[in-house]
Structure 1
Amino acid sequence: MLIALGLFPLTACTVGPDFVRPHAPQVSQWSKPEKVAASQAVTAEIDERWWDVFNDRQLSALSRRALTDNLDLQLASSRLQQSRAARQVITASQYPTTAATGGYGRKRNSAEGLSDPSGHNGHSAFNLWEAGFSAAWELDLWGRVRRETEAADATLEVAENDRRGVLLSVLAETAQDYIQLRGVQSTRGVTEQNLEVARHSLKLSQLRLADGVATDLDVAEAAAQVAAIEARLPALQQRQAQLINALSLLMGERPQALQAELSKDVPVPQTPRQVAIGLPSQLAERRPDIRQAEARLHTATASIGVAKGDFYPRITLSGNFGSQAMQLSDLGSWGSRQFGIGPQLSLPLFDGGRLRGVLQLREAQQLEAALGYQQTVLRAWHEIDDQLTSYNTSQLRRDSLAEAVRQNQIALRTAQRQYVEGVVDFVNVLTVQGELLATQEQWVQSATDVSLAMVGLYKALGGGWESVYPLAGDLALR
């Protein structure tokens, strides 16, 4: 114990480099588009529950459900639990280990051996009773154990941010599948409306044929138009079923489990007039992949200290106290006592370069982690810039297509009227109707793309896990 007290001041020494939080590449402000769309990204406090800004109750309900039922999230929670348990195993090395022992044996020693504690020279068996207490503690003179603990803490942070990343991906995928589903349903609605128009045109051409005004060619072309539009519906129905299945899987449900609640047509969720995206300086705190890359760099840095600590002597203080007797009645008496105490020293002398190789490996891993951190941050800025551009341009395209739809609707009504008046051929009606259907489908897809771009923007910003992570963590880890 006196030795431990004398060496205690030395435990402040810690070999290896100290971790310094890296300075992430920063941009002063978000990029600004040349032509601003109706809904703008503004520098304001980010909406953590961004899925609620769509004002779609079903989307919000599915998002909350995914937080508790998604299997990927539960797997990430299980990995987090494993990391916590592994950290507990590693950090236990900081503390002394103690153990109580006890035993009984019926023995007989050799008559030709060196000794027989029974005093009968191996001619008879004897009882041996033992009980004791032992303790051991490695003096962490060079900080190797502390570096191991530091690396374990950083590894746990990696697992925590891995779970946050899964959480963010699940929320984004839920919103994306839901928005695409509503887009498919809207496209099907447009197709069915155009089908009714095409059927009306077919009846009109049949009536005009009966009156001797139209030709068989007009009727055939009208019937072909009806069949062509009808042919679009099965593919849309298939796509709807696939998206409902995707959402069912995200909720941890069987195929088509959500068919009843999602098959009813609902408009595509619309984006708000302003989208709050926070400050550029907050990015490193929000994106789980950046936090994870930083934690990996921390782990790699601490591991260098562990590798360097292996070059130094290991001193372990150990001791034991107990009692040994041949008769149970004598166990615990003063004469049966035994004890041992003293330090143990272990110093590596020759290992063929293994320790040097481990150190070089850890230093190379730290360099890789540092480069990985820089790459992760740079990729994040690119993703955000791309998503900001996508969000703005998709709105501009949607607005232009809305005007194209309006003009095509006017053109179709004009063509139908002129056909009835005999001014144009029926092929003009079919052409205009085909253009209207195409632009309507493009408009629906562009409106869907706007909402998808907003989801992609919030995912790139790393928003969403902050407010739900503690609750989801408690539910998943209880």
Structure 2
Amino acid sequence: MLGPNYQPPPVDIEDQWNYQHDKRIDSSELIDPLWWQSAFSDEALDELILLAVENNLELRSAALRAIQAQQILAIAVGNQFPQTQQLDALVDRSKYVRSGITSNVQSEFYPNFNLTWELDIWGELRRLVNSAAADLKASMAVYDGALISIVAQVAQTYISIRTTKRRLVVARENIRVQKESLRIAQVKFRAGEVSALDAEQAQALLSNTEASIPSLGITLQQLKNALAILLGVPPGGINYIVSLPSTIPYTPTVITIGMPQDLLRQRPDIRAAEYRLAAQGELIGVARAELYPNFSIGGEIGAIDIRGGQLNGSSDAWDIFVEFNWNIFNYGRLKSNVRLQDAIFQQLVSDYQQVVLLAQADAENAIVAYLKSQQQLAHYEVAADASKNSVNISLSQYTGGQVEFDTVITTLVSDVQQQDILAVARGVVAVNLVQVYLSLGGGWQINDGLAPVELLPEEVWKEMRNRIPYWNKLK
């Protein structure tokens, strides 16, 4: 087999994370493949992820591309065997009339079988098999990448739905408090203690807060529609999401993230880039093989059988040959092709190294975003508690005539914003945790070891088998 033989290129990768010593992360063990179960312990989320893995159409398309790569590999394997196999047969039945004399009816039968086999002296066909095998692995890695992306999108959309529902609860609670402030202002106005301005200001604030309800309703429905697409069902197919609680999932105190070196075998995009590199490396050998002579052996077996007329009997014929081809006048073109394949390989080396660098940056970005959003959430919780207390104090003081209504309005406006910010911040922490696991490449292991043909639902296989019978041997 003409080379070069593939060797994984060197890559620069860090020995530890930037936040290696943070008590909230554990890098001593690999991440849990079923990270969403250990992170959130949410049965509804578990069910949604299972539905998405089964029904998501983008994921199904990725599985079908892997099956296509599998068939290309099978074709490459088949090309190692005799390439031309042909069985011919001619049946001829005739009668001749010449000078008034009619001959008997004559039947002739010519069966013929020929075979040609290209000898893989320089390893061209074996290299093509290796390249197709690497392409199949790359396709499976692309499927794994699609899988973890779908899982993460389902988890993040689910969290966003519950966050939006929490924001609706917060908005309605603010509306309740603001209605009470409006009632107090109206009572004091009717008693002649304040002007109508206080009641009008209270009404304006209340109406603005009530206007946020339809806006949040739009967001909620859009998120539900996005989740339906991820599950591969029409938007109306997940109305039961309405019954989900309006609390935001909490995150664990400590998360397991492994070491940066684990990214090389965990992240599907890194594996896909390396497999594409390996596939291209084999094509250099294929291009080099074209510089050398090509040998084929073949043979033909035939027979003639004649019945009727003046001749009766049969005869046999056979032929064996060795064919030799050498493109000696195309060396410039063939050498250019070798250089072309090598340049493509070197480009893919750079692409692979870039993917590794981006993967490290992606993971570091996700980790720091998660850790800092937790710190941010702690401050927002303190601010939200203080804001809630200030509303209660200002309403009490306004009722007792100690402060003007402007003070009440200021605390109410601040509380509306602060409570909403807190709900959003809690959702952001959970979403950022999902992003951490996505950046680390976790989750594809749930289908690890399955052949491409096992990644499709049974109803899809049934449809394909009904269309053509040749899938039966693969299932």
Pick from 447, 451, 461: which aligns with 1:468?
447
Whether the 8 Å CA contact 1:415–1:429 is kept in 2: the answer is yes
| C-alpha distance after superposition, 1:317-341 (max 9, x if no partner) | 10122212233999997x5111010
Which residue pairs with 1:117 in the alignment? none
Change (3 A) 1:471 1:339: closer
In 2, the alpha carbon distance for the partners of 1:366 and 1:457 equals 32
Aligned to 2:139: 159
Look up the SS of the partner of 2:114 in the other structure.
strand
C-alpha distance 76-196 of structure 1, shift in aligned 2 (>3 A): same
**Structure-2 residue corresponding to 1:436:** 415
C-alpha distance in 2, partners of 1:141/1:237? 69
1:191 aligned onto 2:171? yes
3-state SS of 2:295 partner: strand
Cα 1:446–1:138 shift into 2, 3 Å: same
Distance 1:329-1:361 versus aligned 2 partners, 3 A rule = farther
Map of 1:10 onto structure 2? none
1:417 and 2:430 aligned: no
Residues 105 and 308, structure 2, Cα contact 8 Å, conserved in 1: no
Q: How does 1:70-469 map to 2 (within 5 A)?
A: 70-97=56-83, 98-106=85-93, 127-327=107-307, 336-351=315-330, 353-469=332-448
CA-CA distance at 1:215 after TM superposition: 1.4
Q: Which residue of 1 aligns with 2:466?
A: none
Contact (CA 8 Å) 2:45, 2:158: kept in 1 or not? Answer: yes
Find the partner of 2:4 among 4, 17, 29. 17
> Does the aligned pair in 1 maintain the 2:268–2:441 contact within 8 Å?
yes
Decide whether aligned partners of structure 1 residues 141 and 409 sit closer, same or farther in structure 2, where only a CA change above 3 A counts: same
Pair 264,181 (structure 1): closer, same or farther in 2 beyond 3 Å: same
Q: 1:125 to 1:354 in 2, by over 3 A?
A: farther
Residue identity in the other structure for 1:465: W
Report Cα offsets for 1:110-160 as digits up to 9, x if no partner: x9xxxxxxxxxxx99964312233332211111111111111111111111
Distance 1:274 1:342, change over 3 A: same
Is the CA contact (8 Å cut-off) linking 2:25 and 2:257 kept in structure 1? no
Structure 2 distance, partners of 1:343, 1:475, is: 45
- 1:228, CA displacement in angstroms? 0.8
Length-normalised TM-score, structure 2: 0.89
Show the counterpart of 1:62: 48
Q: Which residue of 1 aligns with 2:32?
A: 47
Task: Give the TM-score taking structure 1 as reference length.
Answer: 0.89
Aligned length: 450
Describe the SS at the equivalent of 2:79.
Answer: helix
The runs of 5 or more residues in structure 1 that have no matched partner are 1-13, 112-122
Distance in 1, Cα, partners of 2:138 & 2:6: 15
- What one-letter code is carried by the residue in structure 2 that aligns with 1:381? Q
Distance 2:25 2:194 in 1: 52
- How far did residue 164 of structure 1 move? 0.8
The amino acid of 1:80's aligned partner reads A
Equivalent position SS for 1:424: coil
SS in structure 2 opposite 1:103?
A: strand
Q: Which residue of 1 aligns with 2:470?
A: none
Equivalents in 2 of 1:461, 1:429: separation in Å? 48
Tell me, what secondary structure is at the counterpart of 2:288? helix
322-331 or 158-167: which moved more?
A: 322-331
Aligned-pair distance for 1:472? 9.4
* Secondary structure, counterpart of 1:61 in structure 2: helix
Matched-pair contact (CA < 8 Å) for 1:405–1:436: yes
Letter in 1 for 2:2: V
Answer yes or no: is 1:30 the counterpart of 2:20: no
Cα distance in 1 for partners of 2:81, 2:197 equals 93
Amino acid at match of 2:255: V
Deviation of residue 241 (structure 1)? 0.2
Could you tell me how far 1:467 is from its partner in structure 2? 2.3
Q: Partner of 2:324: helix, strand, or coil?
A: strand
Contact 1:325 1:331 in 2 (8 A): no
3-state SS in 2 of match to 1:209: helix
CA distance in 1, matches of 2:322, 2:153: 59
Residues in 1 aligned to 2:194 and 2:310: alpha-carbon distance in whole angstroms: 122
User: Matched residues in 2 for 1:247 and 1:166: separation?
Assistant: 16
Shift in Å, 1:99: 4.1
Decide whether aligned partners of structure 1 residues 55 and 103 sit closer, same or farther in structure 2, where only a CA change above 3 A counts.
Answer: same
Structure 2 contact 106–309 (Cα < 8 Å) conserved: no
- Residues 144, 125 of structure 1: alpha-carbon distance in 2 compared, 3 angstrom cutoff: farther
Q: Is the 8 A contact 1:150 1:302 kept in 2?
A: yes
For each residue in 1:397-456, what CA deviation from the matched residue of structure 2 results, as whole angstroms up to 9, or x when unmatched?
Answer: 000000001111111111111111111111111111111121111111111111111111
Shift of 1:360: 2.2
Opposite residue 338 of structure 2, the aligned amino acid is L
Which whole-Å CA distance do the structure 1 matches of 2:450 and 2:380 have between them? 42
Partner of 1:5: none
User: Secondary structure of the equivalent of 2:328?
Assistant: coil
Q: Summarize the Cα distance change of 1:389–1:75 in structure 2 as closer, same or farther, 3 Å threshold.
A: same
Cα drift, residue 208 of structure 1: 1.0
SS of 1:174's equivalent in the other structure is helix
